[in-house]
Chain A
């Protein structure tokens, strides 16, 4: 691997490898995965976001609209252990805070990396 410090666009593999690297380095980590979408959604099913215990993240599950909320949930999942199935859409009461501007709905599965 290159020693370059230039930021590189993360592939799907890079997201998984980052999660594995965080765990190998003794950090808590979680993975968030888009498991279903309805209507317009910025990222397709299978898109992933890796999160560590400090809230660092790599990848995406939306166009930036819900990552903040997903990270908050992920930090709780890292401590509690049980996975969560989240749903985000304009029908949420918090639509203006964490909803999708595009009007779609996404289901995101958040799991701890053991």
Chain B
């Protein structure tokens, strides 16, 4: 791999821009497709370029059939928006970062969202609905609310439910969630929409400590991402009865 191509790829990664590296497996020539720009020493036929862009949309690396070309997709990282810079977030954030998520913490309360508590993580100190509107969750974004405070969680969830975020979860007991559903129903949200909220957040692994709860949330988020059968606490509890 040529250094200038590797550097261009790393620049795209830093800028969180999507790119596809096309490699000719017989001789090692390569092309980098990043946005409209194509660089490298491998000329791409229009059909190959179209295949590269399709691979990006499908988020799927692989060999092109009946050719020596390998397409390696470099999509921007998945995102996790955490509402509430609380104790559990201090475990959830590094775990999600290891899983490859680009994490943003939203909390308007200055005592919680501090650089000292979350070194190197993007902190947004705006009200959650404003923050959500700006951060614009998409199908590669997860949203988890942790504050237990309806003033913060409800507007975040309401805004997140307008998006096609692949995982929306809210911390809080079954009773807390029942009250939350009542409020959101009264605010006009429909049952299909509300059913998208994973609550109580996390898989039923008997989690007790903040770190264990963070682990259960990461596991459930991964199941949602990978399309594993849904296993939520409510279902597990029903199954146990």
Contacts and interface: CB of A to CB of B under 8 A. Distances in A.
B3 A16 contact: no
A16 B6 contact: yes
A69 interface: no
A109 B58 CA distance: 22
Nearest to B62: A45
A102 interface: no
Interface string B137-172: 000000000000000000000000000000000000
Nearest to B5: A114
A91 interface: no
Interface stretch (B21-29, B31-39, B208-216): B21-29
B7 A20 contact: yes
B100 interface: yes
A20 B98 CA distance: 21
Contacts of A112: 1
B30 to A, nearest CB: 8
Contacts of B218: none
A113 B10 CA distance: 14
Interface string A15-28: 01101100100000
Contacts of A113: 1, 3, 6
A109 B25 contact: yes
A109 B120 CA distance: 35
Contacts of B25: 35, 83, 85, 109
Interface of B: 1-3, 6-7, 9-10, 13, 23, 25-28, 61-63, 70, 72-74, 98, 100, 119-120
Given A111-B1, A114-B2, A114-B3, 14 more contacts: A12-B100, A13-B13, A16-B9, A16-B13, A20-B6, A31-B1, A44-B61, A46-B73, A83-B25, A83-B27, A109-B70, A112-B1, A113-B3, A113-B6
